[in-house]
Amino acid sequence: MDSVKVIADKIAKNIGAVIKGKDDVVRKTVIALLTGGHILLEDVPGSGKTMLAKTLAASVDGTFKRIQMTPDMLPADITGVNIFDLKTSQFRFVKGPVFTNILIADEINRATPKTQAGLLECMEEEQVTVDGNTWPMEDVFMVIATQNPVDTQGVFPLPEAQVDRFLMKLYMEYPDHDSMIEIFRTHIQKDVLEQVTPVTSIEEIKNAGKQIEQVSISDAVYSYAADLVEATRAHESVVLGVSQRGGIALLRAAKTVAAIHERTYVLPDDIKEIACDVLAHRMILKNALRVRRNAAVELMKEILEQVPVPTEEMLK
């Protein structure tokens, strides 16, 4: 059985063959997959959001579906619907695209709030309820949603309740000059994704999850995570800070980071490595700051510098 590090490295290397110059984003995408969380990718059109999601899906030997969100979509288009079968004279449930291992919800902010809400139960409870019947999701289930922050017409901003259900919010950003050249060389061919083959299985990801569960957290690290969460609530620029759900998500992701570093315990550095990606999008800032891009990330970095880190003696 491969270790968490081996599995993470295999997936990251496979994605890196297609996504150039974005090692940090790729690494955190893999962390989210192994943690069992969902990702919100945000950036300008053409920055590689959908390509990253597709390459991750192609790297895993599991089921994968993609939804192109539009304003006329209904929740049943995502979750599924009961139809009347004339042969049996009974209703039968036709499963929607959420019944898969990896689901790409492309341009999620183009769907109406009613349709966006269709994903809420799936993402948090890992089940779908239709007409009083509950259907469980796959054992490994990940939503990778993309959104374009540039357009303002025909889009519906995600409500805070749904944004909070994403483990991480990642930004692709523009690549540097050398990475841009590598991207041109790689993607001048039209069949780039056809060359991507699975490097891990759903069973391996489930086994990695079991290994991650064995990673321990000391009382000092629990306290450090609580200090960070409380600091977001006390900051003068924040209207609404991070909830307990955000703190739990931070600790779960930190356990995955520790496992990738081949440790059986979490260090404060593991928390600091992913704190901005896990916590920043969960804060609601004052109106003056909301218009500034990456304001929440900058604020989270400021909080990380201000909150005292446990000493080595405290971690024992």
The CATH number of whichever domain residue 291 belongs to comes to: 1.10.8.80
- Is residue 82 domain-resident? no
Strands, E assignment, 70-209: 80-85, 90-95, 102-106, 127-130, 133-136, 142-147, 168-171, 200-201
- Is residue 40 domain-resident? yes
- The helix, strand and coil proportions of the chain, stated in percent and rounded to the nearest 5, come to 50, 15, 35
- Is residue 106 domain-resident? yes
Is residue 258 located within the same domain as residue 144? no
Domain boundary among 173, 203, 233: 203
- Is residue 79 domain-resident? no
Is residue 107 located within the same domain as residue 133? yes
The answer to whether 147 touches 107, Cβ cutoff 8 Å, is yes
- Is residue 244 domain-resident? yes
- Is residue 80 domain-resident? no
Quick one: pLDDT at residue 290?
66
Query: What are the tens digits of pLDDT across the range 55-70?
Result: 998 899 888 899 998 8
The answer to whether 57 touches 104, Cβ cutoff 8 Å, is yes
- Global pTM reads 0.91
Determine what percent of the chain is predicted with pLDDT higher than 70: 94
How many distinct structural domains can be found in the chain? 2
Which has the closest alpha carbon to 219: 313, 294, 290, 125? 313
Is residue 187 located within the same domain as residue 264? no
Is residue 15 located within the same domain as residue 124? yes
Residue 87's pLDDT band, with cuts at 50, 70 and 90, is confident
Q: What is the mean pLDDT of residues 257-285?
A: 93
* pLDDT of 1 strictly over 70: no
197's tokens: 């083959």
Quick one: pLDDT at residue 316?
58
Is residue 120 located within the same domain as residue 242? no
* pLDDT of 50 strictly over 90: no
Is residue 167 located within the same domain as residue 262? no
Quick one: pLDDT at residue 128?
87
- Is residue 315 domain-resident? no
Quick one: pLDDT at residue 245?
92
Query: What are the tens digits of pLDDT across the range 151-168?
Result: 666 678 887 778 888 999
Query: What are the tens digits of pLDDT across the range 130-159?
Result: 877 888 888 889 999 988 776 666 678 887
Domain boundary among 152, 169, 203: 203
Residue 310's pLDDT band, with cuts at 50, 70 and 90, is confident
The boundaries of the domain holding residue 196 are: 1-73+99-203
Query: What are the tens digits of pLDDT across the range 89-145?
Result: 888 888 889 999 999 998 888 888 888 888 877 888 888 888 778 888 888 899 999
Which has the closest alpha carbon to 252: 31, 48, 64? 31
- Is residue 93 domain-resident? no
Is residue 164 located within the same domain as residue 284? no
Is residue 171 located within the same domain as residue 219? no
Q: Which of 41-50, 150-159, 296-305 has the lowest mean pLDDT?
A: 150-159
Taking the CA atoms of 73, 76, 80 and 81 in sequence, report the sign of the dihedral they define: negative
Domain boundary among 203, 224, 257: 203
Quick one: pLDDT at residue 291?
64
Quick one: pLDDT at residue 143?
92
Is residue 146 located within the same domain as residue 294? no
- CATH number at 183 reads 3.40.50.300
Residue found under tokens 């060359």: 195
Residues listed for the chain: 316
Is residue 169 located within the same domain as residue 227? no
Is residue 191 located within the same domain as residue 161? yes
Is residue 255 located within the same domain as residue 275? yes
